[in-house]
Every structure is written in C-alpha cells, then in structure tokens.
Amino acid sequence: GENVEQHPSTLSVQEGDSAVIKCTYSDSASNYFPWYKQELGKRPQLIIDIRSNVGEKKDQRIAVTLNKTAKHFSLHITETQPEDSAVYFCAASTNSGYSTLTFGKGTMLLVSP
C-alpha cells in the first residue's frame, strides 16, 4: 500500500519568513496530493491540492510543487503570519473511484511574531 513520509515534524519560523514542508510517497500510481491545515482542536481543512498532471500550483501565499519522478511534493508558504501556525498534513491517493487518502504524520508550524 501507499506510504507517505512528511518532514519536518516541527518547524519554527519568524513572521514574514517562508516555510517549506516536504513529503515523499511510495506508490507511483498515486495521482492526487492534497494538503490540510488543522488548527488546535479543529477539523483538518483543505488548503491546496495538486494532481499528477501538474507540476506546480499557487494560491496567494501558498504553493505546492510535485516531482513525480522523485515521488515527492512540497508545500511552500511565503510571508508567514502568526495565523499560519497549525499542524499541516500532506496526503496521497490514487483515484480509484472512492479514493482512500494516506496521510503523512503532520508538521507543526509555529510562526513567531
């Protein structure tokens, strides 16, 4: 089955800095890669996703890149703000009609003012 590794487990940055979280996956058939943000005590919220036919996707301050050959994908957050502090999860799935997501273990991002 699919295995997703996520690094780092904790990331501390100063407000205004950039943050990068990296994930690798094992199943070359995976073709969908979402990122979720989970604030303390809340549900995971989808913030951006990318499909295997695209190499990069941006949405304001966040971007995701995908390298299918190396089987890794990354989340980039620019100009970080204290409200970006949360746990971020990457995931991978194959679109097989019902799509079970395999999640990474999460990265706790702390943005200091």
Partner 1 sequence: SQTIHQWPATLVQPVGSPLSLECTVEGTSNPNLYWYRQAAGRGLQLLFYSVGIGQISSEVPQNLSASRPQDRQFILSSKKLLLSDSGFYLCAWSGGLPSTSGVETQYFGPGTRLLVL
* Residue written as token pair 């943000």: 37
CA distances from 50 to 15, 54, 72, 73 (A): 26, 7, 12, 9
Total chain residues near partner 1 (CB under 8 A): 22
Contacting residues for 34 by C-beta, under 8 A, at least 6 apart: 46, 48, 49, 50, 90, 91, 101
Nearer to partner 1, 20 or 101 (CB): 101
Selected binder of partner 1 within 7, 12, 15, 46 (CB under 8 A): 46
Please tell me whether residue 23 binds partner 1 under the rule CB under 8 A. Answer: no
Selected binder of partner 1 within 14, 83, 98, 113 (CB under 8 A): 98
Per CB under 8 A, residues contacting partner 1 are 32, 34, 36, 42-46, 49, 51, 89, 93, 95, 97-101, 103-106
